[in-house]
Amino acid sequence: MPYATAPLVDDDVEHVHWLTGDRFWFIDHDARGDHYRIMDAVTGKVAPAFNRIKLAAALGNALGKPVDPTQLGITAIKILHGRLHVTRSGKRFVCDLSGAGRCKAAVAGAREPGILSPNGKYLAFIRNWNLWVRNVRTGKERQLTFDGVRNFGYATDNAGWLRSKRPVLNWSPDSRQIATYQQDQRKVGDMYLVSAAIGHPQLQKWKYPLPGDKHVFMIDPVIIDVASGHVIRLQMPPEQRLSSLCDDISCQNNGHWDDVEWAPNGKSLALVSTSRDREHEWFRVANARTGAVRTVFEYSTTKYYQSGIGAVDWRYLPASGQVLWYSSSTGWGNLDLYSLKNGHFERPVTTGHGDVTQVLHVNRRTGTVWFRAVGRIAGINPYYEQFWKVNLAGGAPKLLTPRDCDNLISMSPDGKYFVDSCSTPQHAPVTTLRSAATGRVIATVARARLKRLRAIGWQAPQQIVVTARDGHTKLYGLLFKPTNFDPHKKYPIIDYVYPGPQIGSVFTFRFEPSDYDNQALAELGFIVIAVDGMGTPYRSRHFQRYWYGDMGDNTLPDQIAAIRQLAQRDPWIDLNRVGIWGHSGGGNATADAMFRYPNFFKVGWAESGNQDNRDYENDWGELYEGLLKRNPNGTTNYDNQANELLAGHLRGHLMLTYGTLDDNVPPENTQIVVEALIKANRPFDMIAIPNVRHGYGYATPYITVRRWDYFVRHLAGNTPPKHFALKPWPWR
């Protein structure tokens, strides 16, 4: 399991955190615990970030309880005015480690989560539907807006399926202005949940639009001058709260409004608006002083537009009078240039096969763009991300990471350096500091060691390549065998599925000591696979949109084709004992598989599935299924994905699970299938987990073991042990 394997990997430094343009900190773990280090990018030298024993003692005094110096759990570090600012368990501390060492909690009164200004002086937050700022040093608060009311508030982070108390906004580079919106959800339909407890239950109610709803979230973009509190409404009609990339306007869930970008001088900002059917985009520029808005150009496509894969990839370049725009009009995700003056297309920046996945940095002075991309080098796994640079003026892109591996990149804020963690599912990460100009290795940050991990019998998963349903497209995945594998035995096979379209079944093609619990499940006597079928990203436009408008497809024909090919290739796979499981979209696909292909899939475990997207958030269904259309005979274009309409076909063993407080995929998504199964007189199993949301929280270890038991009993035909328990762990 992840909690057992991850601590046994030494010197696995995948992630680094830049302090300035030429220094970054990272955690280096070994048998002696976690070591916090700082590397100087100019010299390549490494030093301890602090005395961890002294810091642990100081934090312990501040918390009133001991802190283990080998497991400090620090997630953020800043060094300001000679003092160490650290974040631990969501709480910030300011520490002076001179002398005996002393830490104190950051300024009190910060009960609302907020977004820190670029200069670090102010925190913007929501209170009573209005936007406020707090001086971080003094704690003094000031209200910026005054007309926010219930369900018509400023910067509110409610996408229906996802909500928080944190604001969504973008500070200007000089920390003087805030770009945000006033969100109108007054007429949007309500969603309800009821807790389970002794006494009267607590009702939870919030706004949650569904496909086809007349009233959905609308926003009025505004710019707020922080010093005066003056609110400037942009001179444009209210628009839908939509993203050009995902089903939330803050795709990384960090409070940043992804489709808004300030000019470096703060005098203007660009924003992209999206139509409800996702087939039309408007690129606009707003004057930050007057609120005047100009539509620079419009962009249309079919079967939805997306502005990137890993992140929104358009860029506002006012100094050169250009827009860097992401487009898959050629069949692959590439970058183009448009004129800010007249909105005309100027030229392509990248061309050819393979998708640009994320623009990481643009040097506006030299016109250089650094980006991650997949599939641009023939002969390697098309899911391995590599790092490139290209000049806006023209010329071929330069590959900066030529090794045959997946590259996880962290770039310095000034664009001079990047840290590359190169790994594959079979090869542990090698992390290097490199020059962003040439890709030259400046220093090795860490080289992961697997000696302690291998000592417990760990083995890497096997990469597999099969052919899709169309007979020629290659599909890629991972296969997990028991460590006591016997090629002379027959093994049942379990398909872990997530159908997309925004992600696939394979969590990553980087190194992972445990990929969810796939290897743990294999240890119980199964072959476990995860295959990214057609309809998932990181491939061509045709590949990802293969079953647009027919979400009942769920990649299942590809999953079946993959399993049949593997069984033909490997005689130790028992094609008569096929299981499938997944969570959320994977729970949808699992139930669909059991209903649509009852003679192939014998056992299914479906967790928290959006079983009919008419009962799920409108952003999702309308993005991948299209706008809801009702026919005169009562049918709709969404019927092809409604699992309750197929429930009567069930023949095998099916378990349905869900959280009773799931505010992402509400419980009725499972309950409508339960009702259909009862009406069809089909036996099934169900666990309704009290008081958990979309992730199962306290119940995760229990549900994991019950899932193992279910497959051992019904697919392997064995008897699972009684009273076996897993300990709690930080679940992904």
What is the amino acid identity at position 97? L
Retrieve residue 446's tokens.
């860490």
Interatomic CA distance for residues 495 and 507, integer angstroms: 14
Residue (of 145, 151, 51) closest to 101 by Cα position: 51
pLDDT at 112: 87
pLDDT by residue (tens digit) across 239-271? Answer: 999 999 999 999 998 999 999 999 999 999 999
Interatomic CA distance for residues 257 and 166, integer angstroms: 12
Query: Mean pLDDT over residues 49-56, rounded?
Result: 95
pLDDT at residue 110 above 80?
no
Tell me which of 600 and 91 has the higher pLDDT: 600
Residue (of 585, 610, 578, 620) closest to 505 by Cα position: 585
How far, in Å, are 192, 505, 549, 613 from residue 473 at the CA level? 44, 17, 21, 28
Interatomic CA distance for residues 251 and 270, integer angstroms: 18
pLDDT by residue (tens digit) across 472-497? Answer: 999 999 999 999 999 999 999 999 99
pLDDT at residue 92 above 90?
no
Interatomic CA distance for residues 551 and 547, integer angstroms: 7
Three-state secondary-structure class, residue 220: strand
What is the amino acid identity at position 637? N
467-498+520-564+573-714 folds as Rossmann fold (3.40.50)
| 71 close to 730: Cβ distance less than 8 angstroms | no
pLDDT at 695: 94
pLDDT > 90: percent of the chain: 94
Query: Mean pLDDT over residues 278-284, rounded?
Result: 98
What is the amino acid identity at position 695? G
Interatomic CA distance for residues 491 and 481, integer angstroms: 9
Same fold, 114-307 and 467-498+520-564+573-714: no
pLDDT at residue 111 above 90?
no
Retrieve residue 28's tokens.
């280096």
Residue (of 573, 555, 572) closest to 563 by Cα position: 573
Across 470-602, the runs of DSSP E, i.e. the strands, are 474-480, 491-496, 527-532, 573-583
CA atoms within 13 A on the CB side of 392: 23
Edge to edge, the sheet with strand 280-287 lists 260-262, 268-274, 280-287, 293-300
pLDDT at 731: 47
Domains of the chain, residue spans: 2-105, 114-307, 467-498+520-564+573-714
| 420 close to 408: Cβ distance less than 8 angstroms | yes
How far, in Å, are 80, 183, 249, 310, 327 from residue 295 at the CA level? 42, 22, 20, 26, 18
How far, in Å, are 63, 73, 94, 95, 140 from residue 104 at the CA level? 9, 17, 6, 6, 18
pLDDT at 81: 78
What is the amino acid identity at position 515? D
pLDDT tier at 177 (50, 70, 90 boundaries)? Answer: very high
Q: Which CATH superfamily is domain 114-307 in?
A: Dipeptidylpeptidase IV, N-terminal domain (2.140.10.30)
pLDDT at residue 724 above 90?
yes
Q: Tell me the average pLDDT of the chain.
A: 96
pLDDT at 13: 94
| 562 close to 477: Cβ distance less than 8 angstroms | yes
pLDDT at residue 108 above 60?
no
pLDDT by residue (tens digit) across 526-579? Answer: 999 999 999 999 999 999 999 999 999 999 999 999 999 999 999 999 999 999
- Write the Ramachandran bin of 291: left for phi over 0, alpha for psi from -120 to 50, otherwise beta: left
